[in-house]
Structure 1
Amino acid sequence: MTADRPNLATAARRLLATLAAVAIPAMIVATPAMAASAPDAECTPDASTACVVAIVLDGQSNPVPDVGVNISGADFDVDVTTTKEGPASVEVPHVGSYTITLDEATVPDGLFPDATERVVTAQNGIAARSAFRLTTTPPEGAEPTATPTDGQPTDAATDGTVPADEGLGGADTTRGSGPSFGQIWQQFGSGIRFGLLLALASVGISLIYGTTGLSSFSHGEQVTLGAMFGFIGIQWMGLPVWLTLILVMVVCAATGWLQDAAIWAPLRRRGTPVTQMMIVTIGLSLALQYIIQMVIGGRSLRVLPQNPRPLEIAGITLSTASWLSMGAAIVVIGFIAWFLTRTRIGRATRAVSDNTALAAATGINPDLIVRIVWIMSAGFAGLAGMLLAISFGSFNWSLGMLLLLLMFAAVTLGGLGTAFGALLGSLVIGLVVEMSTLIPGMPSDLRYASALVILILVLLVRPQGLLGRAERIG
């Protein structure tokens, strides 16, 4: 088995490159899968509805009411007024560019806007946000700029109670000659958040590959299952969040046991080649996608019923749910590290990953270890899915499909088969995805492709990944 492992790694990398060529356009189209839910009750974006949101904040990031805003585009012109609850949103008739103009006559005395006009691009399924900040100091000059939409995994998923600050979906990251330090720091925090949650989802892929040599393409749907079960527990059953998190882990872990008992263990006993098993994972992925879509439908759903609230820590403003999700991810990742290094089962897992035949000769039961790995991997992926849905405000049936290529990129970048490599690779991918939005002229939909470019560049220099071991072939 060990002699074939480098060949399997080479085949996996070639398959990943092929899938990247096909999946990058699909990811760009599917980006609304992680788009935020509607900022308020006036407009709810879906597959056929586009919204434009105008946000006016004071120096303390509090909504400023009674400010007039004009939203205009081709054959469309409407005046709206902000409220003390937050932004003003409208449904626009078609996708494209819209100009948001602030009525200076309605700005409270003693306050000055940082700009009076901005341009956003409306797309179906997301809310295109633009934020105006009022300060007590008149700006030297402000020109119309384009602001990104909130169809990216940031705190744009929140409603009008969340400040549209740097990196919060509606941040004016293109204002001025370049991003400020505050914007860079904000996106750095968003990247760490995304990287931690991606690591929690990716570690299972790495453990499964390390112990079986199988690249599981159905792992993304395990993430979606976690988000779906979280939605069912909180929204349908009315369970508290902490209890739902525990139940989601248990239920998703049970699906991992069921998969191995019903599919993978019988295939291993029959000596099915890994390539054929990989194809089975693709079929399982498609089947789970349709099952999930039958249960929850094709629209985006919010897991938490209440509106997220902002919390600033060390100059980084994220929703309170995001900070708690990051804390939970750190605790679970710490547990995984302790489990793999300090427990007998963890050391046995590493032994099976290094050399299955030698591990079996020392008395370790490889089938039992693989069964435990499937259970743990599915449970952690489900937990990651619920935390992602909570952090980013909403999810839909294609969440796992959108994340799958990033998870493979993370484990390949870190080193195939190494759990710690998956963590490092995920952090790198998360930072690249979020920081790339600061590049002037960089479309937000291409931020995932930028992560794959980094993956290719690193593998050209270090084919085994950052923490992988170079192995001799032949």
Structure 2
Amino acid sequence: MDSGRSGSRRLAIRLLLLLAIGLLSAILPATSAAAQDSEQNTESVGGTIRGPDTEPIPDIQVMVTKNGAPIGEDTTDAEGTWEIPLPEPGSYDVAIDPDSLPDSAVPREQGGERLTDVQITPGQQRIVIFPLVNPNEQSDGDEQQGSTPTPQQTGPSFGQRFADALLSGIEYGSVIAICAVGLSLIFGTTKLINFAHGELVTIGAMVAFFLNAAAAGPGIQLIFAAILAVVAGALLGGLLERGLWRPLRHRGTGRINLFIISIGLSLLLRHVILIIHGSRPGSYTDYNIQEQLEFGPFSAAPRDLSILAIALLTLVGVATMLQRTRIGTAIRAVSDDRDLAETSGIDVSRVVLTVWILGGGLAALGGVLFGLAEVVAWDMGFKLLLLMFAAIILGGLGSAYGAMVGSFAVGIVAHLSTLWFPVELQNAWALLVLIVVLLVRPQGILGRKERVG
């Protein structure tokens, strides 16, 4: 009888998670449109122009053209940022006026003040970078422009594109895994479907961005900014547990009510971030411009390899903690059976608090890595939340290892699908894999079978 009730509860929770994915799928387009309801276009191109000393440069004129016709122009503000709305997706040329540059800064390569064929996909807010150096460090762009056809004319082979997409998918999956593991541990110990976990991801990225790149920030190196962001995320996770979720649980608040409260908390945090940061995406000042490293059919920037290495080491560390430490054993015990763990002498409240601190720190780290791989935006964590839920269900409810496996599956499928289908559909194919796996194995990849009834 008890196992039947347990199976029924897990089935109900699985349905709630699927409902959450449905809500995310419905809300994502609406929130993106709401954030830009005062703008005529959803596509734009922008960026931050910094000098050789990494300080922002104001009053630089930037122009966008298409087939020779002017589309728009802007001037960098005091923080060096600029943004130009675009009428539609397509290919554009972006250029800066060399006469508006200070004498101490020139493009890294001759002719580098103009970027051609900048591709803009539907709804994209693309970041464009103009690397500037001291005048005596400028290189001759003609060295890379011979009379023979360039690699751009022939393009990479399918094998190279497959290898690059596979590596990008593994990197993407590793970032999802870092965020999803914390969400899975929180769910396993509290049975809370935390809709606000995406905002913990965004806050981690925003803290690092403020410390590293914001004009009002101290401008510290990204590594130290990331460490402080992880600490801030961990403290915020612990604060939410002690100040919000624990009192609600002690009052006997039901799981459905807690789920609805997490949705409200998500909306509150997201729009506070929007007010503080604004809708314009940004990027960190470090590790933006790097040469691609090639090994066999694979090619990647050192930044991307570092992201992958940090993510994998973090996941190995979490797995080791869960298997070989007392607190890890306690976390697994509480996840398996909270009541039994409590009667066995385990301090469940302390375990839950530890999980929230760990989950907040992991989410913040995932946000920093995601912002480094792409851009820092006010809704970046919310967009990632859909894939986190999908990874948790795909891997198996309540299993941290299942969340890891599910995350890599989601990331790899999403990126490999871009070889044949538009990039806008990459997340849809990942969700299709979720549906197929659940039809064949309803408990998920690493989930345990439960008898219902």
State the TM-score, normalized to the length of structure 1. 0.72
Task: Map 1:277-288 to 2 at 5 A.
Answer: 277-288=258-269
Aligned length: 380
**1:255 equivalent in alignment to 2:236:** yes
| 1:422 matched residue in structure 2 | 403
| 1:455 matched residue in structure 2 | 434
In the alignment, which of 275, 280, 286 is matched to residue 256 of structure 2?
275
Task: Map 1:26-175 to 2 at 5 A.
Answer: 26-27=27-28, 50-51=44-45, 71-72=66-67, 76=69, 94-98=87-91, 123=122, 125-127=124-126
Shift in Å, 1:214: 1.3
Q: What letter corresponds to residue 10 of structure 1 in structure 2?
A: L
Q: Structure 1 residues 196 and 348, CA, compared in 2 at 3 Å: closer, same or farther? A: same
Task: Map 1:385-404 to 2 at 5 A.
Answer: 385-392=367-374, 394-404=375-385
In the alignment, which of 183, 188, 202 is matched to residue 161 of structure 2?
183
Distance 1:376 1:391 in 2: 22
In the alignment, which of 312, 324, 336 is matched to residue 342 of structure 1?
324
**1:230 equivalent in alignment to 2:199:** no
Shift in Å, 1:196: 0.6
Q: What letter corresponds to residue 466 of structure 1 in structure 2?
A: I
| 2:187 matched residue in structure 1 | 209
Q: Deviations over 1:303-342 (max 9, x none)?
A: 2356331332534333322221211111111110110000
| 1:64 matched residue in structure 2 | none
Shift in Å, 1:407: 0.1
Shift in Å, 1:205: 1.1
Shift in Å, 1:18: 3.5
CA contact (8 A) 2:120 2:126 kept: no
**1:364 equivalent in alignment to 2:346:** yes
Q: Deviations over 1:169-197 (max 9, x none)?
A: xxxxxxxxxx7111000000000000111
CA contact (8 A) 1:222 1:400 kept: yes
Distance 2:434 2:416 in 1: 15
CA contact (8 A) 1:46 1:126 kept: no
CA contact (8 A) 1:210 1:353 kept: yes
Q: Mean Cα displacement is larger for which, 190-199 or 308-317?
A: 308-317
Task: Map 1:5-44 to 2 at 5 A.
Answer: 5-24=6-25, 26-27=27-28
| 1:327 matched residue in structure 2 | 309
Shift in Å, 1:367: 1.3
CA contact (8 A) 1:308 1:321 kept: no
Q: Structure 1 residues 272 and 135, CA, compared in 2 at 3 Å: closer, same or farther? A: farther
CA contact (8 A) 1:30 1:402 kept: no
SS at match of 1:464: coil
Distance 1:376 1:313 in 2: 35
Q: What are structure 1's unaligned runs of at least 5 residues? A: 33-44, 53-69, 79-89, 101-116, 144-164, 167-178
Task: Please give the root-mean-square deviation of Cα atoms over the aligned residues, in Å.
Answer: 3.5
State the TM-score, normalized to the length of structure 2. 0.75
Shift in Å, 1:96: 4.0
| 2:112 matched residue in structure 1 | none
SS at match of 1:469: coil
| 1:352 matched residue in structure 2 | 334
Q: Deviations over 1:134-179 (max 9, x none)?
A: 787669xx89xxxxxxxxxxxxxxxxxxxxx86xxxxxxxxxxxx7
Q: What letter corresponds to residue 13 of structure 1 in structure 2?
A: R
Q: Structure 1 residues 77 and 443, CA, compared in 2 at 3 Å: closer, same or farther? A: same
| 1:383 matched residue in structure 2 | 365
Distance 1:191 1:275 in 2: 34
Q: What are structure 2's unaligned runs of at least 5 residues? A: 34-38, 47-64, 72-82, 94-115, 129-143
Distance 1:342 1:305 in 2: 36
Distance 1:302 1:119 in 2: 18
